[in-house]
Amino acid sequence: MTTKWALVKTSPFHWLSESETREILSRMLTLHYNPGDRLELGREPGGWWVVEKGLMKVYTIAPDGSALTYAILGSGDSFGETTILTGHWLRATVEALEPTEVRYLSAEQFEALLKEHPDFALALLRILAERIRQSEERVFHVSRLKLGQRVAYALLGLAKTVGERTSEGIEIHLTHQEIADYVGASREAVSRTLSRWARKGWVTTSRKSIIIKDLRPLQQITEQLSSAA
């Protein structure tokens, strides 16, 4: 098992040349979102988005009012491909968690791009395959692991992908509620877990962020699980 579950972090530009990347980006509009701004997927015209800088989350609200976060999106992450390729309007909300800049391409332009650039189409297939793997891994974690184990996996994955190194440790700009939505648990239960770890000196928490001061205890939790698998 890896520590990157439920994270997108698979940009097609990783597999393209610099010139191909520049050519594609030149076709795309630049859009800006402030914290709290939302895109309603499935309720607005479809398209393809790539996060250039900032942080966003993709989530849906269940009938009981609880939220389920599908992914946290940072620089290089993209979304909207599945809706265009399948023709199904996936209902989800994408919300900016901090000032965010994205590139946007309409569905028609995106489909034309796939036909014109076989390398881009292949890169997209790799992305979708990776997302299937990540989804399978997340199902296992949410259904089988205890809360502390799920939080450890989530924090390690977030530290690698959207964490910011500071003098105090690796800072993740998410609230306790956002972590709870991410691991499929209540905010109160996640807060108790984080408070216990804070007393041990592993993390420090504030209203809007978590700082991992020591990765090793969290890594030991995931290594023990990997050995048992």
Q: What is the DSSP track for 14-35?
A: GGS-HHHHHHHHHTSEEEEE-T
pLDDT bracket for residue 3 (50, 70, 90): very low
Q: Give the model's pLDDT for residue 15.
A: 79
Q: Give the model's pLDDT for residue 172.
A: 95
- Written as one string, the DSSP assignment of 148-162 is HHHHHHHHHHHHHHT
Average pLDDT in the chain: 85
Greater model confidence, 126 or 203: 203
Q: Give the model's pLDDT for residue 10.
A: 61
- Degrees to nearest 5, angle at CA 145 with 195 and 73: 70
Q: Give the model's pLDDT for residue 20.
A: 86
Q: Give the model's pLDDT for residue 8.
A: 46
Model pTM score: 0.77
Greater model confidence, 140 or 5: 140
- Degrees to nearest 5, angle at CA 80 with 94 and 95: 10
Looking at residues 5-16, what average pLDDT do you find? 63
Q: Give the model's pLDDT for residue 88.
A: 64
Q: Express the helix, strand and coil content of the chain in percent, nearest 5 each.
A: 45, 25, 30
**Residue 102 exposed, middle or buried by CB count within 10 Å (0-12, 13-18, 19+):** buried
pLDDT beyond 80 at 90: no
